């Protein structure tokens, strides 16, 4: 595609978005039912789950009050149904809200449970229903002269959703950027015994033992029905974006977070550009009435979204690096031109600093508030228009490790050439945000840096992505080498491998979950160690697939393929690594190194080279996985008592944003 064509596209986008209003087609409802409130299917806001499979439940209910919500849970508990909580936004990427047994399950929607917003001016608090949307909450408290300090960048979430998934903004100041750390009270609706009506409401405060488990609960403790936030008197914010070279970003990020209360950094690695956001509160009488209308969350003309997707897809199919880099260059330049959606007078950007009320600067999502009359514009990722379609990975690093991660990404960039990273810069590059250490069991135990990056997702699951190895290498560095934690509401499955080992208080969370089993104060059932969950039930485990071990076993099959080939090179690869113990040369690609290192897994279960050569077929499960996971074990006598016990704890709660 010529530069002239791209210039025309940018000019088109400019005229379409510089004076953007909220008039556009709203996103589709994530719940679709064939009959009235029955035979229902749930999707996320992108229209496709990670496994590209549908998510079903026989029925859905729409409670309007806390008591109605309790009654619906009681009825489900009484009839032994699995319960999943859904919202009107459905902005979670992992398939967490789908019931494991679609025939014996129920969706409870909080779409109509959003009426209560109770402000206490004396104590500077607000108590709201769990189904209240973030924008509705922010606008209500701002009218009362108060502000919520922390919020997500995307406002298409519910209050209970952001609490359940640990959603956040960016700040190391005060209580930090994680929204759950500004919660001072919440109500949970949990299963109960028959004499308690099958469900009950428990009220939690910071003094309660369950409070730190409930602050980020993934919905596994019960239904979050009400939340109380600590507020502050209203204030304004002043924002300036500095587009500069990325040469010192790995050494400067920490100082930037300490100097700027709401600061963040966007990094475009292929362009070698870092955008430092200088973002701090200013007195309420500071002149300015600006709006943060982030470009990526604005309504876009449908034709523009479809055209950009078609162009990127064409570059993917033809392996056109230059085309992708042209897109990245123009988009970064355009973001600089319009300050990425900051509007001094709520219409256009006229210059820095951009000053506005906290409620208008902390969160955005104008494409949500649209009229169904205008069918020419919508959110760019709306699944009904075949627009943008991408993966979103989010890794959370201890601040002490983050600098080295950036250095490794820069080394990789230099190795593969910067232009091969243009794909991520078409979207938002790498976004660095900062969250403070939290007491929540599933929160961050130390001051951390959150990194978000988006990249192309193929329409067909079997189509390989251009430069797929680069993004998978970065994900592996993040989640395996640096042991970054995943964002609970984002990421592909690789991010969640061994996740329980990354949270020191994970066992405390599990204990809290068991303590609420059927309303008992303390569960009498012994917890099974996580290390044994993948063992067979006869060995005391739950026979759960160990994804990490399965990946190792799958690599062994690649090694078997090498071994079976009769050419000289394959023989040397096997002999050098397997029998002679020669070290792998560091110049070898990471794929080759992974394959050759797999010999240790084969050795661990007793295979020799001759055994592998004699195999005509290689079953990942039978040849290697089962041996690696199970080994030798003794059968336990209590298997049937535990596994066939109808009193086993329910797995059926998930509130999500």
Q: Would you state the pLDDT for residue 539?
A: 72
Q: Would you state the pLDDT for residue 326?
A: 95
Residue 324 has pLDDT above 90, yes or no: yes
Q: Rounded mean pLDDT of the chain? A: 85
Read off the pLDDT band of 644 (50, 70, 90).
low
Both 492 and 575 in a single domain? no
Classify 351 in phi/psi space as left (phi over 0), alpha (psi -120 to 50) or beta.
left
Per the domain annotation, does 143 fall within a domain?
no
Residue 123 has pLDDT above 90, yes or no: yes
Both 490 and 562 in a single domain? no
Both 421 and 277 in a single domain? yes
Per the domain annotation, does 267 fall within a domain?
yes
> What is the percentage of the chain residues whose pLDDT exceeds 90?
55
Both 489 and 573 in a single domain? no
For residue range 211-234, list pLDDT tens digits in order.
Answer: 999 999 988 899 999 999 999 999
CATH of residue 496: 3.40.462.10
Read off the pLDDT band of 406 (50, 70, 90).
very high
Question: Hey, which bits of 341-415 come out as E strands?
Answer: 342-343, 354-357, 377-378, 390-398
Per the domain annotation, does 44 fall within a domain?
no
For residue range 36-80, list pLDDT tens digits in order.
Answer: 888 888 888 888 888 888 888 899 999 999 999 999 999 999 998
Residue 641 has pLDDT above 70, yes or no: no
Give dist(CA 324, CA 328) in Å, integer: 6
User: What pTM value is reported for the model?
Assistant: 0.78
> What is the percentage of the chain residues whose pLDDT exceeds 70?
84
Both 296 and 359 in a single domain? yes
How far, in Å, are 27, 62, 138, 229, 450 from residue 133 at the CA level? 15, 16, 9, 14, 24
Q: Would you state the pLDDT for residue 330?
A: 94
Q: Would you state the pLDDT for residue 372?
A: 65
Both 452 and 593 in a single domain? no
Domain end (from 447, 467, 501) = 501
Cα angle vertex 566, ends 565, 568, to 5°? Answer: 110
Range with lowest mean pLDDT among 366-380, 427-441, 569-583 = 569-583
Phi and psi, residue 549, nearest 5°: -65, -40
| DSSP for residue 577 | I
In which domain, by residue range, is 618 found? 547-630
- Residue scoring higher pLDDT (20 or 493): 493
Per the domain annotation, does 56 fall within a domain?
no
Contacts of 165 (CB under 8 A, 6+ apart): 92, 216, 218, 487, 488, 489, 656, 657
Both 397 and 301 in a single domain? yes
Both 355 and 258 in a single domain? yes
Confirm if 317 and 385 have CB atoms less than 8 A apart.
no
| Strand pairing class (55-61; 105-109) | parallel
Range with lowest mean pLDDT among 315-324, 344-353, 441-450, 458-467 = 458-467
Q: Can you tell me the mean pLDDT for 151-173?
A: 94
Q: Can you tell me the mean pLDDT for 276-283?
A: 97
Range with lowest mean pLDDT among 92-101, 406-415, 500-509 = 92-101
Residue 440 has pLDDT above 90, yes or no: yes
Residue 144 corresponds to which tokens in the numbers above? Answer: 């009362």
Residue 643 has pLDDT above 50, yes or no: yes
Provide the terminal-to-terminal Cα distance of the chain, rounded to the nearest Å.
38
Q: Which of 59, 126, 45, 139 is nearest to 88 (CA)?
A: 45
Q: Would you state the pLDDT for residue 239?
A: 98
Q: Which of 39, 152, 55 is nearest to 95 (CA)?
A: 55
Q: 3-state SS of the chain: helix, strand, coil percent to 5?
A: 40, 20, 40
Per the domain annotation, does 15 fall within a domain?
no
Both 333 and 475 in a single domain? yes
Per the domain annotation, does 452 fall within a domain?
yes
Classify 498 in phi/psi space as left (phi over 0), alpha (psi -120 to 50) or beta.
left
Give dist(CA 614, CA 621) in Å, integer: 18
Residue 338 corresponds to which tokens in the numbers above? Answer: 């319009």
Listed in sequence order, the DSSP H helices in 18-123 are 66-78
- Residue scoring higher pLDDT (582 or 89): 89
Contacts of 416 (CB under 8 A, 6+ apart): 467, 470
Residue 375 has pLDDT above 70, yes or no: yes
Read off the pLDDT band of 427 (50, 70, 90).
very high
Per the domain annotation, does 655 fall within a domain?
no
Both 427 and 563 in a single domain? no
Both 609 and 496 in a single domain? no
Q: Would you state the pLDDT for residue 657?
A: 42
525 half-sphere exposure, CB direction, 13 A CA radius: 23
- Residue scoring higher pLDDT (7 or 346): 346
Read off the pLDDT band of 2 (50, 70, 90).
very low
Q: Would you state the pLDDT for residue 278?
A: 98
State the total domains in the chain: 2
Per the domain annotation, does 31 fall within a domain?
no
Residue 236 has pLDDT above 90, yes or no: yes
The sheet with strand 183-191 has its strands ordered as 117-120, 125-129, 223-230, 183-191, 199-204
Listed in sequence order, the DSSP H helices in 319-431 are 321-337, 358-361, 399-416, 422-425
Both 553 and 478 in a single domain? no
Read off the pLDDT band of 594 (50, 70, 90).
confident
């Amino acid at each position: 595609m010529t530069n002239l064509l791209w210039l025309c596209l940018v000019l088109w986008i400019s005229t379409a978005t510089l004076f953007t209003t909220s008039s556009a087609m709203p996103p589709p409802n994530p719940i679709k039912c064939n009959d009235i409130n029955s035979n229902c299917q749930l999707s996320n806001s992108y229209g496709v789950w990670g496994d590209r499979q549908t998510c079903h439940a026989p029925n859905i209910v729409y409670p309007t009050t806390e008591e109605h919500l309790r009654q619906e849970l009681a009825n489900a508990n009484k009839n032994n149904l699995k319960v999943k909580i859904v919202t009107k936004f459905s902005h979670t990427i992992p398939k967490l809200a789908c019931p494991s047994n679609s025939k014996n399950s129920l969706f409870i929607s909080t779409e109509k449970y959003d009426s209560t917003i109770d402000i206490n001016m004396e104590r500077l608090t607000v108590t709201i229903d769990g189904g209240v949307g973030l924008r509705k909450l922010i606008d209500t408290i701002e009218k009362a002269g108060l502000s919520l300090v922390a919020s997500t960048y995307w406002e298409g979430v519910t209050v209970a959703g952001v609490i359940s998934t640990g959603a956040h903004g960016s700040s190391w100041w005060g209580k930090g950027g994680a929204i759950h750390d500004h919660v001072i009270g919440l109500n949970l609706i949990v299963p109960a015994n028959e004499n308690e009506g099958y469900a009950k409401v428990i009220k939690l405060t910071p003094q309660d033992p369950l409070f730190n488990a409930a602050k980020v609960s993934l919905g596994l403790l019960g239904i979050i029905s009400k939340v109380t936030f600590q507020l502050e008197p209203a204030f304004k914010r002043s924002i300036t974006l500095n587009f500069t070279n990325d040469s010192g970003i790995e050494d400067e990020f920490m100082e930037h977070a300490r100097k700027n209360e709401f600061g963040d950094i966007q990094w475009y690695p292929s362009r070698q550009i870092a955008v430092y956001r200088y973002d701090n509160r200013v007195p309420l009488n500071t002149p300015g009435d600006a709006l943060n209308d982030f470009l990526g969350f604005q309504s876009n003309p449908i034709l523009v979204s479809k055209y950009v997707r078609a162009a990127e897809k064409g570059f993917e199919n033809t392996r056109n690096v230059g085309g992708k880099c042209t897109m990245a260059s123009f988009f970064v330049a355009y973001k600089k031109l319009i300050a990425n959606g900051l509007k001094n007078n709520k219409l256009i950007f006229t210059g820095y600093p951009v000053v506005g009320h906290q409620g208008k600067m902390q969160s955005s999502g104008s494409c949500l508030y649209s009229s169904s009359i205008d069918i020419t514009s919508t959110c760019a990722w709306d699944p009904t228009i075949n627009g943008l379609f991408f993966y979103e990975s989010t890794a959370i690093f201890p601040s002490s490790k983050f600098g080295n991660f950036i250095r490794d990404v820069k080394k990789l960039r230099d190795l593969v050439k910067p232009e091969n990273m243009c794909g991520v810069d078409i979207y938002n590059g790498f976004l660095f945000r900062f969250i403070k250490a939290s007491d929540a069991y599933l929160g961050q135990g130390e001051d951390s840096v959150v990194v978000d990056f988006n990249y192309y997702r193929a329409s067909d699951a079997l189509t390989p992505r251009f430069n797929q190895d680069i993004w998978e290498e970065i994900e592996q560095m993040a989640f395996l080498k640096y042991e970054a934690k995943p964002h609970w509401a984002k990421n592909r499955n690789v991010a969640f491998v061994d996740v329980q080992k990354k949270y020191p208080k994970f066992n405390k969370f599990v204990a809290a979950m068991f303590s609420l089993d059927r309303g008992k104060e303390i569960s009498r059932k012994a917890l099974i160690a996580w290390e044994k969950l993948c063992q067979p039930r006869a060995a005391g485990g739950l026979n759960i697939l160990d994804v990490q071990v399965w990946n190792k076993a799958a690599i062994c099959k690649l090694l078997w393929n090498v071994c079976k080939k009769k050419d000289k090179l394959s023989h040397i690869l096997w002999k050098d690594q397997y029998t002679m113990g020669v070290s792998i040369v560091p110049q070898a690609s990471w794929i080759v190194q992974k394959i050759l290192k797999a010999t240790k897994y084969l050795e661990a279960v007793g295979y020799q080279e001759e055994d592998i050569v004699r195999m005509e077929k290689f079953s990942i499960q039978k040849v290697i996985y089962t041996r690696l996971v199970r080994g030798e074990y003794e059968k336990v006598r209590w298997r049937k008592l535990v596994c066939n016990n109808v009193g086993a704890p329910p797995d059926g709660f998930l509130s999500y944003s």
